[in-house]
Amino acid sequence: MFMLSKSSLIKFNPTKKQILAIKAAFFLVALTPLIRLFVLGFQENLTANPIEFVERSLGTWAIIILLVTLSLTPLRQLTNISWPIQLRRMAGLFMFFYACLHFATYIWLDKTFEWAEITKDIIKHPWVLVGFSALILTIPLAVTSNNFMIRRLKQNWKKLHQLVYLIAIFGLLHFWWLVKKDYREPLLYTIILVLLLSVRFYFMYKRYASKKPAIPLKSGITEPAISPRIEC
Amino acid sequence: MLIRYRSDVLPSEITPKSVFDNRRDFLKAAGFTVVASLGSGLLARQAQALVPKRTKITSFNKTAYGAEEKLTKFEEITTYNNYYEFGTSKSDPAPESVLFKPRPWSVSIEGHVKKAKTVSIEDIFKIAPLEERIYRMRCVEGWSMVIPWVGLPLANLIKYAEPTGNAKYIEFISIADQATMPGVRVPILDWPYNEALRLDEAMNPLTIMAVGLYGEVLPNQNGAPMRLVVPWKYGFKGAKSIVKIRFTDKMPQTSWMKAGPNEYGFYANVNPTVEHPRWSQSSERRIGGGLFTPRIKTQMFNGYEKEVGQLYSGLDLRKNF
């Protein structure tokens, strides 16, 4: 029987071909929430309120995939397994994909393109506004996710893509705000986000601490402080 | 055979045979728990193994109410429910209420009445002839249904209760049974659920105590054996599975008023011009439409303005939402 021991899993270093296969598999897995909605739709099994069901499902999956995207760096930091980082761009784009479908469901199926109503809804209701802002903030990240833009933006690319943390916070706020009284589901996702961010902060702190000079320099000049670099 | 290397597996790590043999059941159970605990947006499609039996109500009178309306399907009325005692997802109440026992049932009548008493559900059925009332039901969340209730006018029940002159309000208290209502174990609302009406609202001919729908005994998930229906108010005013009716001189604090004082008011009249703080109330989604069915406009007092408008003359409905 084929088995992977713990150490071989860590040492697993996929070749280019294997990465391509893993990416293809990830692509299909990430599509299943959408395929499921189509299947349920054909079975006329989208509950008594199909529009709300589809809208919520797409929004929930956008949040889940965002959390997956944000988990790849902590995974590397904790285990030294770094190849999943190569899935991060696709994961991020899938989050954008589901967020767009969620928004499309809202303006098309839910509000049937009644622009006056939609504008009023976004401006007047903070939970709609915060969700809409999260989507808008994702656009520059999606646009600059290709290799060309990464090369062109250089150091700024990293800074720009730190927006993802704000997007995550806005996305979860959007969820908290819409729930009527049972906060268990948004709470679960918030706990996961806090855990993922704590890992990053821990490693950021560790690196910062290790780079600090142990003894002040003799001349009395202190070494220039190293600004903590946020991993993204 | 000579074993030359010691196994690096500790004896304590070896899975007992009984567990190993049942590994598929274990996985199934674990998988089920995960699926069941995920939220409604994600994977809340539950199999309904137990099918509750349906009982016809033998005699009730048809009325002209709502004759022009297209009825929401029985299947939709009984699978899309807000009944937090059975769980907060709308698909929860149907499967979770299967073990609930709506018989035997008695209702205690107390407060400002000539004589406090307890009355059985069978006797309540005899207070007045049962009638079918087809009413629109508008939920505060922005969806609506058309439901053919069977019930009796609340006014008849109030006359039977004999309130004194001090009675200005009437409060309805629902059952909160931890053994059969899993939602009650979670402190989401201040259990037991309660609702209340001004006495003149309660006496209005539109207000009924529903004991059935579609000519059948009320299903558990819809508030069996007896629930309040006030068609010009948001659905949450309709307390379900009522065990206590109390007449008071002061306005009672209700469960939803306590849960969100700036979101849910005492009156909770359907009003497209007064927004909920988080969403608009100007339109609603009628349950039963497909993916491409647009919303419909919400009507003042849910379309019952002619019958109940006069109850609120001089009242600022923006303040008294």
- With a cut of 50, say whether residue A229 has pLDDT above it: no
**Closest chain A residue by Cα to residue B280:** A121
Task: Please tell me what DSSP assigns to residue A226.
Answer: P
Round to the nearest angstrom and report the end-to-end CA distance of chain A: 38
The answer to whether B299 faces chain A, any CB pair under 8 Å, is no
Among B41, B76, B259, the residue with its CB nearest the CB of A59 is B41
Residue A224 has a pLDDT of 45
C-alpha distance from residue A151 to each of A93, A108, A154, A164, B30 (Å): 18, 37, 5, 19, 46
> If we measure between CA atoms, which residue out of B42, B116, B100, B318 comes closest to residue B220?
B100
Determine the angle formed by the axes of helices A88-104 and A126-143, rounding to 10 degrees: 140
H helix runs in A50-104, sequence order:
50-79, 88-104
Calculate the average pLDDT of chain A.
89
What are the backbone angles phi and psi of residue B77, rounded to the nearest 5°? -65, -30
Q: Distance between CA atoms of B289 and B295, rounded to whole angstroms?
A: 9
Q: Distance between CA atoms of A199 and A227, rounded to whole angstroms?
A: 19
Q: Distance between CA atoms of B100 and A93, rounded to whole angstroms?
A: 47
Cβ of A181 within 8 Å of Cβ of B88? The answer is yes
SS3 A172: helix
- With a cut of 60, say whether residue B1 has pLDDT above it: no
* Each residue's pLDDT tens digit, A169-216: 999 999 999 998 889 999 999 999 999 999 999 999 998 888 766 555
A-B contacts (CB, under 8 Å) = 74
Q: Distance between CA atoms of A60 and A186, rounded to whole angstroms?
A: 9
- Best of B13, B40, B71 to substitute, by most chain A Cβ atoms within 10 angstroms, is B40
The answer to whether A177 faces chain B, any CB pair under 8 Å, is yes
Cβ of A49 within 8 Å of Cβ of B143? The answer is yes
Q: Are A179 and A186 within 8 A, CB to CB?
A: yes
Among A49, A177, A182, the residue with its CB nearest the CB of B287 is A49
What is the identity of the amino acid at B248?
T
Q: Where is B152: in which H helix or E strand?
A: strand B143-153
- Tally DSSP H helices, then E strands, for chain B: 10, 12
Residue A226 has a pLDDT of 46
Q: Distance between CA atoms of A15 and A205, rounded to whole angstroms?
A: 33
Tokens of B98: 């299967």
Q: For chain B, what is the largest distance between any 2 Cα atoms, rounded to a whole number of angstroms?
A: 98
ipTM over 0.85: no
Q: Are A30 and A90 within 8 A, CB to CB?
A: yes
* Each residue's pLDDT tens digit, B187-232: 999 999 999 999 999 999 999 999 999 999 999 999 999 999 999 9
**Interval A83-101 mean pLDDT:** 97
Residue B32 has a pLDDT of 46
Q: Distance between CA atoms of B158 and B208, rounded to whole angstroms?
A: 11
- With a cut of 50, say whether residue A230 has pLDDT above it: no
Name the minimum distance, in Å, from the CA of A150 to any CA of chain B. Answer: 34
C-alpha distance from residue A190 to each of A165, A170, A171, A195 (Å): 12, 11, 10, 9
The answer to whether B45 faces chain A, any CB pair under 8 Å, is yes
Tell which A residues from 195 to 214 touch B, by Cβ distance under 8 Å: none
> If we measure between CA atoms, which residue out of B106, B96, B4, B104 comes closest to residue B49?
B96
pLDDT level of residue B36 (50, 70, 90 thresholds): very low
The answer to whether B288 faces chain A, any CB pair under 8 Å, is yes
**C-alpha dihedral sign at B122, B83, B231, B215:** negative
Q: Distance between CA atoms of A83 and A71, rounded to whole angstroms?
A: 13
The answer to whether A163 faces chain B, any CB pair under 8 Å, is no
The answer to whether B41 faces chain A, any CB pair under 8 Å, is yes
SS3 B298: coil
The answer to whether A45 faces chain B, any CB pair under 8 Å, is yes
Burial of B143 (0-12, 13-18, 19+ CB in 10 A): buried
User: What pTM was estimated for this model as a whole?
Assistant: 0.83
Q: Are B133 and B65 within 8 A, CB to CB?
A: yes
The answer to whether B182 faces chain A, any CB pair under 8 Å, is no
